[in-house]
Amino acid sequence: MKFEEIFEPAYFRHFFCNGPECPDTCCSGWDIVIDAATSQRYASCEDVRLKALFSKHLDFERKSTIPSQTYVKLEQQSCPFLTEERLCQIQQRLGEDALSLTCSTYPRFFNQINGVLERSLCISCFKAAQLILLKKEPMQFIRSKEPVTLRPQTFGAIRSSSEVMLKPYAYFATIREFVFELLQNRDYPLWQRLSLLSVFCSRLGQVQEQYYEEDIPYLLSYFRDRIQHDDFRQAMDVFETDLETQLQVLIALLNYRMQGDFIGERFQACMHAFMQGLGMKEYTVNSDVVEAYALVNQQYYLPFLKEHEYVLENYLVNSVFQKLFPLGPQENGIAESCEIYEEYILLALHYAMMQALLIGLAGFHKKSFNVTHVVDLIQAYEKTIGHNLSFRLQAIKFIKTLQMDTTGGMSVLVKV
């Protein structure tokens, strides 16, 4: 697949894998998918050592929705093709071009918008997380004319000229540009930016297709003008902080995920510290836990957040870029399409869950709580929860069941 134009965050070209120095392993705990072409190559491999490993560790019989797709049989949730130094034997013996699509691209992530290649990095990679989250200046994006050739693969795609509209895809670029502006507007605390985004996404989702041409430009102009003149601030001041409800909802979601399939050691360690930090012994919220949550929030987390809110801002902006927020891709093949406000629920919910975990971690580390703990948590969270497709669907369903799928309901989750 050939592309002539690229759009990417400025950080992208600074990425390199630090291999054995990384505290995590890319494939640990995930299904490792081998695409059909690579699977055929491995099946006919003549390298004696690798041939034996392929025979033992590739599951050619596992059923898949994609013909000829193969899975790696993990050993204790780790790739069996890694050396003791955690280097890939396949790449060592056959070269980089012998890697599967999954192994050759991760943590790089690709979309295509009207023929333009968009590249970014997944925060579930520890090195990428450091590169993305720790820059204090607002995330910048670069557009360049540059020929790039990629192996055939499934992209998230948007084609504004497509006859299948359903959402205002023709205005995707201008809508996403506004979202970037809003999330990087540091005149507002981040929870207020998310509340404003909630109102915008709610209004956007209500626009009917026959009025796109008239209503979308008006909506963008209206919100820009109101935000510039601070017209929303007073309305947001009425939102109350409800830490008990917040904690009840987020603990229920965390408990649901912890009952699921593989939970990485790094995330388990974060959960252990979170519970210790709040004095929790089980996934239950009582008055003592709520009191500890409120105390730690005031004493350790909010002072930290005041100086380091850019870390969570960078997380949100990277998610918006990567997930083609708020419309989502027209063509995907990975996850089911969501409505516009459902996309917002997921974005805000991930933010809220990470924030709750960070408050618990602040209670555990107290005065020594720092950005390293934040990066560790966000990377482990993304790997365990952010990439989990079944959690995505259940989380939306849960929030709707609680009737919290409104700006007021979501503000309860994001405001501390």
Examine residue 9 and say whether the peptide bond preceding it is cis (omega within 30 degrees of 0).
no
The strand pairing partners of 33, in sequence order, are: 71
* Least trusted range by pLDDT, from 150-154, 203-207, 296-300, 356-360: 150-154
- The pLDDT of residue 96 is 84
The yes-or-no verdict on residue 288 having pLDDT over 90 is yes
Structure tokens at 8: 């990417």
Per-residue model confidence (pLDDT) at position 213: 94
| Cβ–Cβ under 8 Å, residues 320 and 176 | yes
Q: Which helix (H) or strand (E) holds 70?
A: strand 70-72
CB 247 within 8 A of CB 356: yes
The phi and psi torsions of 62 (rounded to 5 degrees) equal -65, 135
Q: What is the pLDDT of residue 214?
A: 96
pLDDT of residue 372: 96
Per-residue confidence band for 336, with pLDDT thresholds at 50, 70 and 90: low
Is 67 exposed, middle or buried, given 0-12, 13-18 or 19+ CB atoms closer than 10 A? Answer: exposed
Q: Express each pLDDT in 84-94 by its tens digit.
A: 887 888 989 99
Output the six-digit token pair for 185. 């507007």
Whether the Cβ atoms of residue 4 and residue 147 lie closer than 8 Å to each other: yes
* Token pair listed for 109: 């992530």
C-alpha to C-alpha distances, 37 to 43, 215, 392, nearest whole angstrom: 10, 47, 30
pLDDT (average), residues 195-202: 97
Looking at residue 39, what is its pLDDT? 85
Contact 26, 107 (CB under 8 A): yes
* Residue 280 pLDDT grade (very low, low, confident, very high; cuts 50, 70, 90): very high
Number of H helices, E strands in the chain: 17, 8
Beta-ladder partners of 113: 116, 158
- Residues 340-360: what's their mean pLDDT? 97
Least confident of 116-120, 201-205, 285-289, 328-332: 328-332
Structure tokens at 275: 């519970």
Assess contact for 264 and 28: CB atoms under 8 A: yes
Say what the pLDDT of residue 406 is. Answer: 96
**For residue 123, which phi and psi values (nearest 5 degrees)?**
-70, -10
